[in-house]
Amino acid sequence: MNPEDLDSLAEYATPVAAGDETIIAISRPDLESNSYLSQLFAVGADSPRRLTHAWRDTSPQIGEAWAAYLSAEKGERSQLFAGPTLTTAHRITDRHLGVSEFALDDATGRVLYISRVPEPGRYGTDDDIPADEEAPRRITSAAYQANGLGYVKDRPARAFLVDLIEPGLGKSGIAGSDEVPLSTMLTTPDSDVHDPQFSPDGAHMSVVAATHPDHGAPDLRSTVWLLGAKGPTPLELPRMSVSLHRWIDADRILLVGSDLTRDELDFVGQMPGLFVHDMRTGTTQRLTDPETVAVAQIPPQIVAGTVVFAVDSDGATRLAGLRLDDVLEGSAGADGSAVIDESAVTGTEAALDDLVFLTDDVTVVTGFDVADGTAVVTAVTPTTPAALLRVDVDAARESSGAPVPTVVLEHPAPAASVRPEVLRVEGPGGTVTGWLAKPAGQGPFPVILNIHGGPFAQYTHGWFDETQVLTSAGYAVVYANPRGSGGRTRTWGTAVQGDMAAPAMADVLAVLDHALAADADLDASRLGVQGGSYGGYLTAMTIAADHRFAAAIVERGYLDPHSFLGTSDIGRFFTEEYTSRDAAAIARQSPLAHAAEVRTPTLVMHSELDFRCPLEQAQQYYAALQRAGVVTELLIFPGENHELSRSGQPRHRRQRFDAILDWWDQRLRAPKADCTTVDRPLTTSAVR
């Protein structure tokens, strides 16, 4: 894959089973328009059939009577469209800041949706007040910005209800003279709300929001809020953070969330799990093992007493099933008393080995839907960036291993794509999963060590554009999931708490050394290292301690824990939970504090509007490298945020690839020369 091949890629998302067909959103970056195109398609036995024709159509939902989706023209905000079918749907909203998500209640013909509500005089609500003339913002909360959005307190996310059957008349829509139905803004908690849902009988509406208002102290607790005439009512849950919820029946709610074990900030390495809350008894039970099962952030489904959900597991995201009767302590009777099913394994938290897997251990599931005993799945596989699969759920229950899926549709990978080799390497803390991707042909090849962000995230077996661009340019790529990564166990994830660099550095270097020793096609004299976010952090710490690398790229890095605390959208809890509050301990783990020990020529890349790892992190590190006499450059992408490499402007994504290849071509095409820029001894404080 070459950088200019970026707009040949596609992503499949949000599959919906519709009889013999599956509805999916197919999106792709478009270099010419410098934006993303997305439309809905029906995929069946014949060629895919295009259903919608706007610039960006996403998030389809289909019922027996109604269908809905989100749609936007180029440069506009997404609005809700609904009708008897997707092809006959018309615009239902004209929200100034658009609609972000919704739930369709097919039986009653209602939609509960989420939209941000701007303060008067802000965000273009008054044509006479441009952004730089808006009133000052008075801030008292701990969190007030979000990456990819900006300020949040003056445009809170609120819940709205709209009736599709007998809609009240609203004002004329922004796209024409046709009136849109009247939406009612519901009373919600003070915090942003998300994940709108209806109970199966339509009696309850619910959202997820912070448990308590933000009055200046960081607090990661969140819960499900019931909306209605009595005002918002929170579920009384254990100390936890809820991300998703689905109603099992009129009284029980399935939750995807994480325990906050020690206190309201204890998030490091917490494995997201499944929980069931019973509103009649007020009890909440965890269904999955908090040590071995990490539930992915994909909405689960309840089908015939079985929860179908996705699990992050050792480089894959696997579809799995769990029978509620096997793990629930008992269902509640009409009077709220417990009714115990004697055949059930009562009160059991299902471990990873207890799950019934519906997909294999190398597929990365991105979405799914289940109907009539069949799961339709969108995924990334080792050989393609996008695939639509069909899985026989009943066969999976009866077999000892994951069933072989039927490939319904597959997007071709760009030319010269390679399939990486999986590496299992014994490291100081256990077996590390890694990969080696090599160019076609015969070496020796220069080698790039790539390090992922998070740190509680994982590289996967899935086709990856960054790896393919490097291998197509003649570079071998080594990458791994060291201690601190997700997809393994909680113990593995917390291994870097209080020591963010050393355990992970030992693991990634162990995988690199293994690859170099095992494969004669790899040129150990031409090594580079790169990473983004936490990967940028670990890259910076590595080049301060290990001087074998001819060059490095530090991208969107977490580089100064001290200033990060006050400038990042997660700063108030991330730094102290990962590094501690002790100044000396923070300095030992700070790339900025170790910048004087770097000898490696380093490209520092950052986005101008990154509120996760703010631009000042890169600016400080760049200045420190210059002060130390290190060959360095600073590359800043205007208008971009922390997600540049994944969802940034297509032209910027291509220019980013061009810059990366240019840097490596300058530094690694010839055998490694002495890259020491100043003759100075290493200080004893370097992390070894």
Report the distance separating Cα 233 and Cα 253, nearest Å.
15
What pLDDT is recorded for position 347? 62
> 358-386, pLDDT tens digit by residue?
999 999 999 999 999 999 999 999 999 99
DSSP 353: G
Is 60 in a helix, a strand, or coil? strand
What pLDDT is recorded for position 45? 84
**Which residues contact residue 466 at a Cβ distance below 8 angstroms, ignoring those fewer than 6 apart?**
450, 645
Q: Are 315 and 433 in contact (CB under 8 A)?
A: yes
- Which of 313, 299, 319, 227 is closest to 256 using CA atoms? 299
Q: Mean pLDDT across the chain, nearest whole number?
A: 93
**Which residues contact residue 328 at a Cβ distance below 8 angstroms, ignoring those fewer than 6 apart?**
276, 285, 287, 341, 344, 346
**Which residues contact residue 360 at a Cβ distance below 8 angstroms, ignoring those fewer than 6 apart?**
316, 318, 402
Q: Of all residues in the chain, what percent carry a pLDDT higher than 70?
A: 93
Report the distance separating Cα 390 and Cα 375, nearest Å.
6
What pLDDT is recorded for position 178? 66
Q: What DSSP letter does each residue of 589-645 carry, written as one string?
A: T-TGGGGGG--S-EEEEEETT-SSS-HHHHHHHHHHHHHTT--EEEEEETT--TTHH
Report the distance separating Cα 639 and Cα 648, nearest Å.
9
> 264-303, pLDDT tens digit by residue?
999 999 999 999 999 999 999 999 999 999 999 999 999 9
The pair of structure tokens assigned to 355 is 């799950």
Q: Are 66 and 75 in contact (CB under 8 A)?
A: no
Our measurement of the distance from residue 366's CA atom to the centroid of its chain's CA atoms, rounded to an integer in Å, reads: 10
What pLDDT is recorded for position 290? 98
Task: Return the biggest CA–CA distance within the chain.
Answer: 80
Map tokens 């790529």 to a residue: 477
Write b or e for each residue in 64-83: b if 16 or more Cβ atoms lie within 10 A of its Cβ, otherwise e.
Answer: eebbbbbbbeeeebbbbbbb
**Which residues contact residue 162 at a Cβ distance below 8 angstroms, ignoring those fewer than 6 apart?**
80, 92, 93, 110, 111, 113, 181, 182, 183, 184
**Which residues contact residue 267 at a Cβ distance below 8 angstroms, ignoring those fewer than 6 apart?**
220, 241, 258, 260, 573, 577
What pLDDT is recorded for position 397? 73
What pLDDT is recorded for position 332? 43
Does position 682 have pLDDT exceeding 80, yes or no? no
> 530-547, pLDDT tens digit by residue?
999 999 999 999 999 999
At residue 399 the predicted structure's pLDDT band, cuts being 50, 70 and 90, is confident
**What is the rounded (10 degree) CA torsion for 557, 293, 463, 413?**
-140
Map tokens 């790539």 to a residue: 450
Domains of the chain plus CATH, in order, are 421-668 (3.40.50.1820)
> 451-471, pLDDT tens digit by residue?
999 999 999 999 999 999 999
- Which of 434, 375, 432, 439 is closest to 403 using CA atoms? 375
Segment 613-627 shows an average pLDDT of 99
Report the distance separating Cα 660 and Cα 669, nearest Å.
13
Does position 577 have pLDDT exceeding 80, yes or no? yes
Segment 439-445 shows an average pLDDT of 94
Count of positions (residues) in the chain = 688
What pLDDT is recorded for position 78? 99
At residue 330 the predicted structure's pLDDT band, cuts being 50, 70 and 90, is low
Please count the helices (runs of H) and the strands (runs of E) in the chain.
Answer: 12, 43
- Which of 386, 382, 377 is closest to 363 using CA atoms? 382
The pair of structure tokens assigned to 485 is 């990564």
What pLDDT is recorded for position 129? 97
Does position 680 have pLDDT exceeding 60, yes or no? no
Q: What DSSP letter does each residue of 10-22 carry, written as one string?
A: -EEEEEEEETTEE
Does position 220 have pLDDT exceeding 70, yes or no? yes
The pair of structure tokens assigned to 605 is 């890349």
What pLDDT is recorded for position 341? 31
Q: Of all residues in the chain, what percent carry a pLDDT higher than 90?
A: 89
Does position 428 have pLDDT exceeding 50, yes or no? yes
Does position 398 have pLDDT exceeding 80, yes or no? no
| Sheet order of strands, 283-286 included | 240-247, 252-259, 273-278, 283-286
Burial of 219 (0-12, 13-18, 19+ CB in 10 A): buried
Segment 413-430 shows an average pLDDT of 96
Compare 332 and 658 and report the one with higher pLDDT: 658
The pair of structure tokens assigned to 301 is 């489904």
What pLDDT is recorded for position 168? 67
